[in-house]
Amino acid sequence: MPESDFLTHTLPNGIRLIHKPTDSPVAHLGIIINTGSRDEEPYEHGLAHFIEHSIFKGTGKRKAFHILSRIEDVGGELNAYTTKEETTLFSTFLSEFYDRTAELLSDILFNSSYPEKELKREKEVIIEEINSFKDSPSDLIFDEFEELIFDGHPIARNILGTKENIITFGRDSIVQFIDKNYHTDQMVISSVGNISFNELQKLTEKYFGITGPKLRTNGRQRFGNYLPQNRTVEKNTFQSHCILGNIACDVLNPKRITMVLLNNILGGQAMNSRLNMALRERKGMAYNIESGYTAYTDTGLFNVYFGTDHGNLEKATDLVLKEFKLIREKKMGVLQLSKAQTQLMGQIAISTENHEDLMLSIGKSYLLFNKVEPVESIFRKIEAITRDDILEMANEILNSEQMSRIVYC
């Protein structure tokens, strides 16, 4: 979609607005804040996620039930999530309720009261969430792998936190964290829906312009000094679970799009990815085999996960390493690369049809880069990737000597 399809505005307090007009009766509105779990001190571990849960528990004029009912009574949905670098509050609703939704999100963001009674109950909910997570080795291993890769750095810590920390949090902890980390110049209001931009500007000025400017002055601790590590953990599981991986391009790296394509070729969402074909389709060694690439502001992470029978662990690992070696040593064919490029472009185009995902995507892009790159421009960059680019990136990221591994068995 052309860049002109996105309309932008900056409020006097520094909060930015981005909007994509549509004809759909369903609208999406969110506020994305450049603060996540990596911004916590060790004693605050889990606090960013705890705030995301607790922010819905009451404001100066609403109880928790009234917050949920305000949107759900008109058929909409209210949601939130926390990552290592962002906290996002968002809603899906009928376009006629833009005013109602903007007012509610503003009330939650600026006027949440964090009543101690509700906080106590929410601590129990999050502790159960932690317990549930620990019962799922295929989820837990990803967090432990990041702890292995980013050893000792704030980005290594998982998002949920620990039971020991959770029980210590109170209203004062929340207020102090927000005061330190929620800055107006690090917030973006993102909208996709059927509303005139002039009207949307007025709504955001009315509801989000009520607070003065608060600009970020503190920076983040950058990650460095990666050392490959291996860890085996006895879990008494029915399968062996394994992750292999390495650090990768950060979000600002111009080679990031090549890394995205390489990841998609190896183990992306398509069933014909190299790793899925090698382990599942040809050998039947794994039900789930996937690769992932996450780009942070100062580093990145590439990993491959699979679960397999205990007796097949080393064979499956060898197959993964064989695919790494192949793509490092042999240039892709011209037709192979063209198919991979077309596949990725198709996936990106299809993803823009999901307007909730689009709202979140353009909001994050505007937060980080102060712009949204048109899909046509992204496609041109994908088409410009050469066989040499893939070979160079593969040799940088898939070097077995730089790989870390964690195994649950």
The whole-number average pLDDT for the span 250-259 is 96
Confidence of residue 217 (pLDDT cuts 50, 70, 90): confident
The pLDDT of 362-381, averaged and rounded, is 96
Q: What is the mean pLDDT of residues 322-339?
A: 97
Q: What integer is the mean pLDDT of 143-159?
A: 96
**pLDDT of 174:** 97
d(CA 226, CA 3): 38
pLDDT of residue 401: 92
pLDDT in tens, 390-402: 999 999 999 989 9
Mean pLDDT of 318-324: 96
Distance CA 292, CA 24 (A): 32
In the chain, the amino acid numbered 299 is T
Contact status, residue 327 vs residue 259, Cβ threshold 8 Å: no
Residue 4 pLDDT > 70: no
The domain locations on the chain are 3-208, 230-408
Give 1's pLDDT tier (boundaries 50, 70, 90).
very low
The DSSP 8-state label assigned to residue 222 in this structure reads P
The predicted model gives 81-101 an average pLDDT of 98
Q: Would you put residue 79 in left (φ > 0), alpha (ψ -120 to 50) or beta? A: beta
Return the residue matching tokens 């039947």: 284
pLDDT value at position 339?
97
pLDDT value at 333 more than 70: yes
- The label of the residue with tokens 């968002």 reads 90
What percentage of the chain reaches a pLDDT higher than 90? 94
Amino acid at 133: F
Q: Whole-angstrom Cα distance, residue 286 to residue 272? A: 14
Tell me the C-alpha to C-alpha distance, in Å, between residue 73 and each of 53, 78, 137, 191, 390: 21, 11, 38, 21, 51
| Common-topology check for domains 3-208 and 230-408 | yes
Neighbours of 353 (CB within 10 A): 8
2: confidence class by pLDDT, cuts 50, 70, 90: very low
Q: Which pLDDT tens digit goes with each residue over 195-211?
A: 999 999 999 999 999 99
Mean pLDDT along residues 100-121: 96
- Indicate the class that CATH gives domain 3-208: alpha beta
Report residue 79's pLDDT band, with 50, 70 and 90 as the boundaries.
Answer: very high
Residue 359 pLDDT greater than 50, yes or no: yes
Under a CB-based contact definition with an 8 Å cutoff, are residues 302 and 293 in contact? Answer: yes
What integer pLDDT is reported at residue 219 of this predicted model? 85
Q: What confidence score (pLDDT) does residue 218 get?
A: 81
Domain 230-408 of CATH type 3.40.50.261:
no
- Between helix 313-329 and helix 256-267 the angle, nearest 10°, is 130
pLDDT digits (tens, 9 = 90+) for 157-199: 999 999 999 999 999 999 999 999 999 999 999 999 999 999 9
How sure is the predictor about 3, in pLDDT bands with cuts at 50, 70 and 90? very low
